[in-house]
């Protein structure tokens, strides 16, 4: 301040402390008044939420009443379809009237509903769908399962609508009651569907049915577990009584009987008895559901009444507090001026360094003295603050070598700065050790091939290493931003949550396995080891990806099963069916089949598993089979995948699998199926080869028998008859010696000619058994002789060794060529045939190609099958390519015996 300048006093400094206090009190009073208004608005909003929830629950109860009516109509319609009659038709009509009544009641209640979801629209849509279904049911165009499935669709939508209406949950109690109610509704629906499905089964137990109904019982059990977690104790007790009563025990026994594959039909319940006990059990569950609904309704009304009472009470309390604060402010105005003189005396003591507050106040009241005292401390405080700020800046910049100037201060301030310098030195030493430890830990954390993480007990990852991102495909940001249970497979979440609860309770070490879902939808099995630090609210865990080892173990089990069946020599169709079943288990698919391709590319089903396929699945399987046949590579069409079976470098067949539900098989299934198919290809080929070998042996025996019969017939009908005739002629000639000597010479000429003809017949038979030219000249001259005798032109390209080939090989090639030339004339209607033969790498390869009509198939015609038997009997391979309209090419590869050098 300049000397002689007048001191400018602000306006407020001219007021007395009492008046300033009144002005100061107005601020909290105004704030409290605003808080009171805000609280009243909040309470009104809460009450409105309670009213909306009560209205939604009332509409949900009408919707659930409609679901009960539709469930009764469904079973009545199924009974009428299974066993038509006056009683069942009357029951169905009554159920339809009850459903219409419940639907009208629901529509009436929904007419006043204005919030989401669109309840009137959805109820009207279900009404139209229900009437359309009744028309189809009346015509009898739907089977019982199809009829039940149509009703199931309507039930699913209504149950979802009820769950949506009850999802408001303004309080924890109402939320638990709503969860219990919805869980019991869904459990009853699961029991209803089980009753319908088993009614169809027990109506015609001898008909082929899939008895794997455990999915409904498992779903019902899971839903009842949800109900057990959220329902009141009284309702839990009633549920246990219902489950342990006679109908509940009979239903459980029925499930166990159906789950046992060796169970016989005579141990199954009858159609009427099943309907009786299942109906009794479901009706008992409905009683509990009505009680749960009543409890939910009472809870909603109670919550609304509580909210209204709380609104009134809070408003009254707020007004009372406001009045009390006002009275207290008036009282403080009278009492606050007296202690100010004592505060002024204490300020002189603070000037010695006890406190460093500074205030810029120049009023003429009692607080002016306090301001003068504090002003003396300002310079010292500013210097000390400057030193502290400089040290804080050094800490922020990681300049831990900085030290404060302790010598510029005295007393407590010097001691304070000296302590800060010591703390800074300790920080510097600790920071060096921490940096080293963090570098070592970071190296291990980032380089580890196992999955390492730090998770909080709040359910979120705090830190993950790069192995997490590589294994699960999710980025680190995605893993840290969502609850980690969302990445766990839905079927493993309950079990994983139980492990998390154990860790939160302080269990030292937990080891478990679960499945995580990658970003592409595939599953990965992780083996975990975790340790909690409850004091910090953290869990340190390490995981190892064991997906491939589990998958390999499952595939090895399947391969051992197939190999065992092959080794035991079971029929091929059983092996093929077992392969299909194992493929379904390995891939967790709905159906699977083993196919064999014919020469025309058509696929024949050799074995299938996992239940009958729908028409859509059959069409998808056919499309996949055609794609595999075209590309000889794994393929996917819709919800079906297929992989080729390659045996001896040729496409033998395919394995096709289809998804069980509406979702397609996960990505990568084609490669998994291809890997497994490659492993079982040898087993399939062995089984098929054993079957073909058995058939080949039978054909060889039959061919040998036929050849012996032909030779016997030729000898009997030809040579034997001629010899008998010549014997008679000789006796006649003998009788002519005395009586007719002039005719004897003529008779002897006749006998000589007969002997010549008989010799020619024997020679012809001998040549039919084995060609003489083949024995004398070898394979080349024999093939040239066949070409000369052929009815169509034959072009020969023979590159054979100079010496003779083994006799069995020459005979096989001769007869294969002879049969092919005969087929080219008789069946292929060819105009030209090319025959080539060459030896390369100790293998004789013979190719016979014609320009005929094609379409030859090894599976039809004994001629080609005989050639295959002859060639494979000496260790060779025969392949036929005969596209329709493009001629036929037959290739024979025969191994030659190695000659010792």
In tens, the pLDDT along 264-306 reads 667 778 888 888 888 988 888 888 888 888 887 887 777 777 7
- Check residue 4 and give its pLDDT: 45
Q: Which residues make Cβ contacts (< 8 Å) with residue 887, sequence separation at least 6?
A: 828, 830, 849, 850, 851, 852, 853, 854
Is 80 exceeded by the pLDDT of residue 401?
A: no
Lowest mean pLDDT of 339-343, 585-589, 794-798, 808-812, name the range.
339-343
Per-residue tokens: 283: 């009706």
Q: Residues 451-473: pLDDT tens digits?
A: 888 988 888 998 898 988 888 88
- Check residue 236 and give its pLDDT: 80
Closest CA to 48 of 131, 120, 94, 115: 115
| Cβ-count burial 113-129 (b if 16+ within 10 Å, e if not) | beeeeebeebbeebbee
The pLDDT confidence band at residue 901, using thresholds 50, 70 and 90, is very low
More confident residue, 385 or 850: 850
- Check residue 1 and give its pLDDT: 44
Per-residue tokens: 708: 């012996």
| Cβ-count burial 640-655 (b if 16+ within 10 Å, e if not) | bbbbbbbeeeeebbbb
Is 70 exceeded by the pLDDT of residue 200?
A: yes
Q: Residues 34-47: pLDDT tens digits?
A: 777 776 677 677 77
- Check residue 667 and give its pLDDT: 74
Is 70 exceeded by the pLDDT of residue 126?
A: yes
Residue 77 burial (C-beta neighbours within 10 Å; 0-12, 13-18, 19+): buried
DSSP character at residue 266: G
In this structure, the strands spanning 538-545 and 523-533 are antiparallel
Q: Residues 368-382: pLDDT tens digits?
A: 666 666 666 666 666
- Check residue 281 and give its pLDDT: 85
Lowest mean pLDDT of 243-247, 678-682, 711-715, name the range.
711-715
Q: Which residues make Cβ contacts (< 8 Å) with residue 6, sequence separation at least 6?
A: none
Give residue for tokens 């023979």: 798
Q: Taking a C-beta distance cutoff of 8 angstroms, is the pair 700, 873 a contact?
A: yes
The pLDDT confidence band at residue 701, using thresholds 50, 70 and 90, is very low
> SS3 for 411?
helix
- Check residue 708 and give its pLDDT: 46
Per-residue tokens: 597: 């391709």
The pLDDT confidence band at residue 360, using thresholds 50, 70 and 90, is low
Segment 870-877 mean pLDDT: 82
More confident residue, 468 or 416: 468
Q: Which residues make Cβ contacts (< 8 Å) with residue 523, sequence separation at least 6?
A: 489, 515, 516, 517, 547, 666
Q: Taking a C-beta distance cutoff of 8 angstroms, is the pair 167, 296 a contact?
A: no
Is 90 exceeded by the pLDDT of residue 881?
A: no
Per-residue tokens: 332: 């403080």
Q: Residues 599-608: pLDDT tens digits?
A: 666 777 877 7
Q: Residues 768-822: pLDDT tens digits?
A: 556 777 777 788 888 888 888 888 899 999 888 887 888 888 888 988 998 888 8
Q: Residues 712-754: pLDDT tens digits?
A: 566 555 666 666 677 677 776 666 666 666 676 677 777 777 7
Most confident range (mean pLDDT) of 2-6, 281-285, 350-354, 724-728 is 281-285
Segment 488-510 mean pLDDT: 82
- Check residue 374 and give its pLDDT: 61
Residue 15 burial (C-beta neighbours within 10 Å; 0-12, 13-18, 19+): middle
pTM: 0.37
Determine the distance from the C-alpha atom of residue 206 to the mean position of all C-alpha atoms in its chain, rounded to a whole number: 33
Alpha carbon distance 516, 490 (integer Å) = 9
Element (DSSP H or E) covering residue 788 = helix 779-789
Half-sphere exposure of residue 890: CA atoms within 13 angstroms, side-chain side? 28
- Check residue 883 and give its pLDDT: 87
| Torsion angle of C-alpha atoms 105, 106, 111, 115, degrees rounded to 10 | 160
- Check residue 99 and give its pLDDT: 92
Lowest mean pLDDT of 95-104, 544-553, 837-846, name the range.
544-553
Q: What is the 3-state secondary structure (H, E, C) of 111-126?
A: CCCCCCCCHHHHHHHH
Alpha carbon distance 305, 310 (integer Å) = 9
Closest CA to 884 of 831, 832, 828: 828
- Check residue 299 and give its pLDDT: 78
DSSP character at residue 10: P
Lowest mean pLDDT of 343-357, 409-423, 566-580, 674-688, name the range.
343-357
Q: Which residues make Cβ contacts (< 8 Å) with residue 624, sequence separation at least 6?
A: 635, 636, 637, 640, 641, 642, 654, 656
Is 70 exceeded by the pLDDT of residue 662?
A: no
% the chain with pLDDT above 90: 5
Phi/psi region, residue 64 (left: phi>0; alpha: psi -120 to 50; beta: rest), is alpha
Is 90 exceeded by the pLDDT of residue 834?
A: yes
- Check residue 705 and give its pLDDT: 42
Per-residue tokens: 274: 């099943």
pLDDT, the chain, mean: 76
Tell me phi and psi for residue 10, to 5 degrees.
Answer: -65, 165
- Check residue 362 and give its pLDDT: 64
Is 60 exceeded by the pLDDT of residue 221?
A: yes
Tell me phi and psi for residue 407, to 5 degrees.
Answer: -65, -20
Is 60 exceeded by the pLDDT of residue 671?
A: yes
Element (DSSP H or E) covering residue 605 = strand 603-609
Closest CA to 672 of 558, 798, 809, 829: 558
Is 80 exceeded by the pLDDT of residue 182?
A: yes
């Amino acid at each position: 301040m300049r000397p002689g300048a007048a001191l400018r006093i602000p306006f407020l400094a001219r007021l007395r402390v009492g008046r300033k206090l009144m002005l100061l009190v107005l601020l909290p009073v105004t704030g409290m008044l605003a808080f009171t208004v805000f609280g009243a608005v909040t309470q009104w909003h809460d009450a409105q939420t309670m009213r909306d929830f009560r209205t939604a629950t009332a509409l949900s109860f009408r919707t659930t009443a409609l679901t009960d009516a539709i469930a009764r109509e469904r079973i009545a319609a199924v009974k009428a379809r299974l066993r038509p009659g006056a009683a069942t038709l009357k029951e169905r009509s009554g159920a339809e009237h009850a459903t219409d009544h419940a639907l009208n009641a629901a529509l009436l209640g929904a007419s006043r509903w204005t919030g989401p979801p669109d309840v009137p629209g959805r109820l009207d849509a279900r009404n139209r769908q229900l009437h359309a279904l009744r028309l189809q049911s009346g015509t009898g165009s739907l089977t019982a399962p199809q009829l039940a499935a149509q009703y199931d669709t309507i039930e699913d939508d209504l149950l979802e609508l009820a769950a949506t209406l009850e999802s408001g949950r303004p309080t924890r109690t109402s939320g638990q009651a709503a969860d219990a109610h919805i869980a019991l509704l869904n459990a009853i629906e699961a029991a209803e569907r089980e009753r319908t499905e088993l009614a169809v089964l027990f109506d015609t137990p001898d008909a082929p049915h899939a008895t794997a109904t455990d999915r409904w019982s498992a779903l019902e059990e899971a839903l009842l577990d949800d109900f057990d977690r959220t329902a009141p104790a009284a309702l839990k007790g009633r549920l246990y009584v219902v489950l342990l009563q006679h109908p509940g025990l009979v239903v459980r026994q029925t499930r166990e009987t159906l789950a046992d594959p060796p169970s016989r039909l005579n141990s199954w319940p009858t159609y009427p008895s099943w309907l009786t006990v299942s109906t009794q059990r479901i009706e008992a569950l409905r009683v509990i559901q009505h009680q749960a609904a009543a409890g939910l309704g009472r809870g909603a009304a109670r919550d609304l009444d509580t909210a209204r009472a709380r609104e009134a009470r809070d408003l009254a309390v707020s007004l009372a507090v406001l009045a009390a604060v006002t009275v207290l402010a008036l009282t403080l105005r009278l009492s606050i001026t007296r202690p100010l003189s004592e505060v002024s005396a204490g300020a002189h003591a603070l000037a010695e360094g006890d406190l460093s507050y500074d205030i810029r106040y120049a009023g003429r009241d009692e607080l002016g003295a306090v301001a003068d005292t504090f002003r003396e401390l300002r310079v010292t405080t500013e210097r000390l603050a400057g030193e502290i700020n400089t040290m804080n800046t050094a800490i922020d910049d990681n300049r831990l070598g900085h030290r404060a100037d302790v010598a510029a201060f005295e007393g407590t301030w010097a001691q304070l700065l000296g302590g800060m310098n010591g703390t800074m030195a300790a920080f510097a030493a600790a920071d060096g050790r921490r940096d080293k430890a963090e570098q070592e830990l970071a190296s291990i954390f980032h380089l580890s091939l196992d999955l390492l993480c730090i998770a909080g007990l709040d359910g979120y990852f705090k830190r993950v290493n790069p192995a997490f991102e590589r294994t699960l495909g999710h980025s680190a940001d995605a893993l840290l931003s969502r609850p980690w249970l969302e990445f766990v497979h839905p079927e493993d979440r309950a079990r994983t949550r139980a492990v998390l609860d154990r860790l939160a309770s302080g269990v030292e070490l937990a080891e478990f396995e679960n499945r995580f879902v990658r970003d592409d939808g595939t599953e990965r099995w992780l083996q975990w080891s975790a340790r909690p630090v409850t004091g910090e609210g953290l869990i340190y865990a390490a995981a190892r990806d064991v997906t491939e080892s589990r998958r390999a173990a499952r595939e090895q089990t399947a391969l051992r099963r197939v190999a065992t069946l092959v080794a035991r020599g079971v029929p091929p169709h059983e092996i093929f069916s077992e392969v299909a079943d194992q493929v379904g288990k390995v891939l967790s698919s709905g159906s699977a089949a083993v196919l064999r391709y014919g020469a025309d590319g058509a696929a024949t089903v050799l074995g299938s598993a996992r239940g009958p396929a729908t028409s859509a699945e059959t069409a998808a399987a056919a499309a996949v089979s055609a794609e595999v046949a075209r590309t000889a590579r794994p393929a996917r069409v819709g919800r079906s995948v297929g992989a080729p079976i390659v045996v001896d470098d040729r496409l033998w067949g395919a394995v096709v699998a289809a998804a069980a539900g509406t979702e397609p098989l996960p990505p990568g299934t084609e490669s998994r199926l291809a890997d497994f198919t490659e492993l079982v290809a040898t087993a399939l080929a062995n089984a098929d080869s054993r079957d073909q070998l058995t058939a080949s042996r039978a054909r060889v025996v039959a061919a040998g028998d036929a050849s012996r019969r032909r030779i016997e017939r030729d000898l009997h009908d030809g040579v034997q008859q001629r010899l008998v005739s010549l014997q008679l002629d000789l006796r006649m000639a003998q009788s002519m010696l005395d009586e007719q000597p002039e005719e004897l010479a003529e008779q002897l000429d006749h006998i000589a000619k007969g002997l010549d003809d008989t010799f020619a017949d024997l020679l012809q038979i001998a040549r039919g058994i084995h060609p003489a030219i083949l024995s004398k000249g070898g394979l080349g001259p024999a093939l040239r002789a066949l070409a000369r005798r052929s009815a169509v032109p034959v072009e020969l390209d023979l590159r054979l060794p100079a010496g003779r080939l083994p006799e069995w090989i020459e005979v096989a090639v001769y007869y294969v060529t002879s049969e092919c030339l005969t087929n080219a004339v008789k069946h292929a209607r060819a105009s030209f045939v090319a025959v080539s033969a060459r030896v390369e790498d100790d293998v004789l390869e013979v190719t016979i190609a014609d320009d005929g009509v094609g379409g030859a198939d090894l599976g039809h015609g004994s001629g080609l099958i005989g050639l295959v038997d002859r060639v494979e009997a000496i260790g060779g391979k025969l392949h036929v390519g005969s596209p329709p309209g493009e001629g036929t090419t037959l290739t024979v590869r025969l191994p030659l015996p190695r000659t010792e050098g």
